[in-house]
Structure 1
Amino acid sequence: MLHQTGLDPRRLDLEITESDVFNENTRSLEILSQLREQGIQISIDDFGTGYSSLSRLSYFPFDKIKIDRSFVINIPEQKDDLDIVRLIISMGKSLHMRIVAEGVETEEQLASLQALGCDLVQGYLIGKPSPLR
């Protein structure tokens, strides 16, 4: 498909949820590794909501961790959520991954995430989804 469209594989980011990949299926790891070798970015989506095994996270070929909005929505007011986000960012950085926070809706959330070293954000503060043209 990449060859047919001429799309540079580095511009493609495949998002996979924890529950889709953190199972005992070694075939998933093989496929993700092959896609990454072609230059496709691999992101783990909705991180923190599934059955992730932190010890196995480093074995999967992820480029980005996308922090689920359920952790972002209550920061900076909710200290527990802020601590969880801080830990996810720290862990991701130590594994050389970029960090994306989902569901950013306020300037306070954005400022907190920037202070914690989050790389990218998504949410209504930045822009609402729009239809294809």
Structure 2
Amino acid sequence: MKNEEHVKQTIGELKKMGIKIFIDDFGTGYSSFSYLNTYKLDGLKIDKSFIRNISAQSENASITSAMIKMAQLLNMEIIAEGVETLEELEFLREHGCHHVQGYFFGKPVCAGEFEKRLREKEN
């Protein structure tokens, strides 16, 4: 991120290939609101620390709903990571989150196991 012009050019080339660009772990670490203006991003990936216990922690609920609303106003997609409960999933659906991922749907598996499960669903 030190060479802004190079990053912009690289993002542009990736987008020409049909690759969508998201800010990962938005709200923590090195993610910055300035990136929303600087780079042509497709969306935000909300960090799991905001999703965890969302129904019990009103601060997480407020921050997450604000991030979703902001992304919607900027015509960006939203991915919430770390969804582990039905309550978390329902909260995200109610607030218009586009995509979710987490252990609620399944734990990570190797490529071979994933292929096996996919083939079982096809049959």
Identify the TM-score tier after normalising by the shorter chain. Answer: 0.7 to 0.9
Distance 1:126 1:83 in 2: 24
Stretches of 4+ aligned residues off by more than 3 angstroms: none
Distance 1:51 1:32 in 2: 17
Q: CA deviation at 1:24?
A: 5.3
Contact 2:23 2:31 in 1 (8 A): no
| Aligned residues between the structures | 112
Q: State the TM-score, normalizing by the size of structure 1.
A: 0.77
Q: CA deviation at 1:118?
A: 0.5
CA RMSD of aligned residues (A): 1.5
Query: Does residue 35 of the first structure (1) align with residue 14 of the second (2)?
Result: yes
Contact 2:25 2:31 in 1 (8 A): no
More strand by share: 1
| Paired-residue identity, % | 44
In structure 1, the residue matched to 2:44 is 65
More helix by share: 2
Residue type of the alignment partner of 2:55: P
List gaps (5 residues or longer) in structure 2: 113-123
Query: Does residue 45 of the first structure (1) align with residue 24 of the second (2)?
Result: yes
List gaps (5 residues or longer) in structure 1: 1-20
